[in-house]
Amino acid sequence: MSRVVVIGAGLAGLTAALRLARAGQSVTLATKGPGGLQLSQGTIDILGYSPERVTRPLEAIASLPDEHPYASIGADEVAAAVIWLGQQLGPELLTGDPSTNLHLPTAVGALRPTALAQPSMVAGDARSLSAHEQRGAAPRSLSAPEARDAHARSLSAPEERGGVSKGLTYAVVGVRQLKDFPADLIAGNLARTTAPDGTRLAANSAWIDLQARPGEADPSPLTYARSMDDEAFAATFARAVAKAAGKGDVVAVPAVLGIRRRGVWQQVQDIVGRPVCEIPLPPPSVPGLRLYEALLALVRAAGVRFIQGSHVTGFTPDGGRVASVTLAAAGGPRELAADAVVFAPGGFESGALSVDSYGTISEPVFGLPLTATDAGELITEKYWGPHPLFEVGVRVDDAGRPVGERGVAHENLYVAGGIIAGAERWRDKSGDGVAVATAIRAADHITGGAR
């Protein structure tokens, strides 16, 4: 059994730790903070844009440039990695098919491509009604016979909308007290949207008045989500939504349908009597938190030693290897000895890469070689244009070890996730798939399980 230290508790670090622990390694995960998962939409994106919107992400991987982190992994390994993660979390938390993107409404009424989503979101997939039926997404997730009948009725009457085939109609319902879910804007934008399959969407909006905690002036999505852990509150919410919602195939509500209590979405859907989809809000993200808490619980249950609030500041080398990493712990620095290290610290957003006042980019913990070091040349003024700065990171060998001009940096140091160079992950929506696939590559090379 090896002693493996994983650095970082984002999607990459948690996935690597779980995979290593499942393979019988002695794993310590050290992290300074919780990572980006709980700010995320709670979905697993594989590839959303390349540069146009992608509907079949695994096929699209083949056309990515050689520098993209996926290029050295390949579509099959990416699919296997994402499926493995989905199996660990279970179908109550993640569902979908890695070969086909869902197109889910966002909190501004745009459509967002993603591969795996939470079951509570899937009925919002904007592909045509017949695609819904073939895939069985919405009907399969329903338990109430009334909901099934309502959906079947909507399928039986194909219509046209402005000369284009009719797509889904969303009945969007907001909560007056909950900001960041502008139901009118969401419905207005959806109603202007043609779905990727060419069907024309429609939408209407409505509001309910419901306080989660009496007297609270500015409740967050978390306030509502925690209140939903009370079955009676969830039932009150659902009855109000059922009464207010306009006509539509899918009733869309803010993503506040519980954090810890499973089955809130099903309960709400049963009462509403139509397919219900959650639309994630800006952070703090309830679906992101669900994913983070579930993954962390699996990691802990698998026996991983979890040290949070600890910044890794450096390391002790031994020949071409990392002998230990240094933790800035309360009371002074502490060494964690390791046979292998998975470094999964994210990118600029988590402070894993920094730019000093001279515009020099560096990776401060291991001093790893980067694909570029002069930020000045890479910062562009076009807000919506490409931002090459965010493609900067570490180049890796086939095992996921950082390489520079002098070869592999350290024999037993592997990297995973956002630190790897070659993709604007938030723009092409590949960050989640990259995090999961590179974490599994690193873990499998450490355990000798790599193919």
Ligand X SMILES: Cc1cc2nc3c(=O)[nH]c(=O)nc-3n(C[C@H](O)[C@H](O)[C@H](O)COP(=O)(O)OP(=O)(O)OC[C@H]3O[C@@H](n4cnc5c(N)ncnc54)[C@H](O)[C@@H]3O)c2cc1C
Of 309 and 407, CB closest to ligand X: 309
Distance CA 257, CA 224 (A): 8
Binding mask 33-72 for ligand X (x = CB under 6 A): xxxxx--x----x---------------------------
Region class of 112: left (phi > 0), else alpha (psi between -120 and 50), else beta: beta
Of 273 and 346, CB closest to ligand X: 346
Piece in contact with ligand X (CB under 6 A), picked from 154-162, 205-213, 392-400, 423-431: 423-431
Piece in contact with ligand X (CB under 6 A), picked from 158-166, 331-339, 367-375, 428-436: 428-436
Q: Which tokens hold the place of 190?
A: 């959806």
At a CB cut-off of 8 Å and minimum separation 6, what does 203 contact? 109, 169, 170, 171, 172, 186, 187, 188, 190, 191, 248
Smallest separation, CB 229 to ligand X (Å): 26
Binding mask 211-240 for ligand X (x = CB under 6 A): ------------------------------
Binding mask 282-321 for ligand X (x = CB under 6 A): -----------------------------xx---------
Smallest separation, CB 334 to ligand X (Å): 13
Count the site residues for ligand X by CB under 6 A.
Answer: 36
Smallest separation, CB 428 to ligand X (Å): 8
Smallest separation, CB 10 to ligand X (Å): 2
Piece in contact with ligand X (CB under 6 A), picked from 228-236, 275-283, 394-402, 429-437: 429-437
Q: Tell me if 426 contacts ligand X by CB under 6 A.
A: yes
| Listed residue (19, 331, 353, 431) closest to 6, CA to CA | 19
Using CB under 6 A, pick the residue from 294, 432, 441, 445 that binds ligand X.
Answer: 432
Q: Tell me if 421 contacts ligand X by CB under 6 A.
A: no
Of 270 and 428, CB closest to ligand X: 428
Smallest separation, CB 348 to ligand X (Å): 8
b/e map of 229-255 (b: 16 or more CB within 10 Å)? Answer: eeeebbeebbebbbebbeebbbbbbbb
Beta-carbon count within 10 A of 101 CB: 30
Q: Interface residues for ligand X in 8-37 (CB under 6 A)? A: 8-13, 30-37
β-sheet bridge partners, residue 336: 325
Of 154 and 430, CB closest to ligand X: 430
Smallest separation, CB 247 to ligand X (Å): 32
Binding mask 328-367 for ligand X (x = CB under 6 A): ----------------xxx--xxxx------------x--
Of 3 and 148, CB closest to ligand X: 3
Q: Are 320 and 411 in contact (CB under 8 A)?
A: yes
Say how many CA atoms lie within 13 Å of 33 toward its Cβ: 11
Q: Interface residues for ligand X in 237-266 (CB under 6 A)? A: none
Smallest separation, CB 93 to ligand X (Å): 16
Q: Tell me if 84 contacts ligand X by CB under 6 A.
A: no
Smallest separation, CB 35 to ligand X (Å): 3
Binding mask 113-152 for ligand X (x = CB under 6 A): ----------------------------------------
Residues that bind ligand X (CB under 6 A): 7-13, 30-37, 40, 45, 311-312, 344-346, 349-352, 365, 417-418, 425-426, 429-432, 435
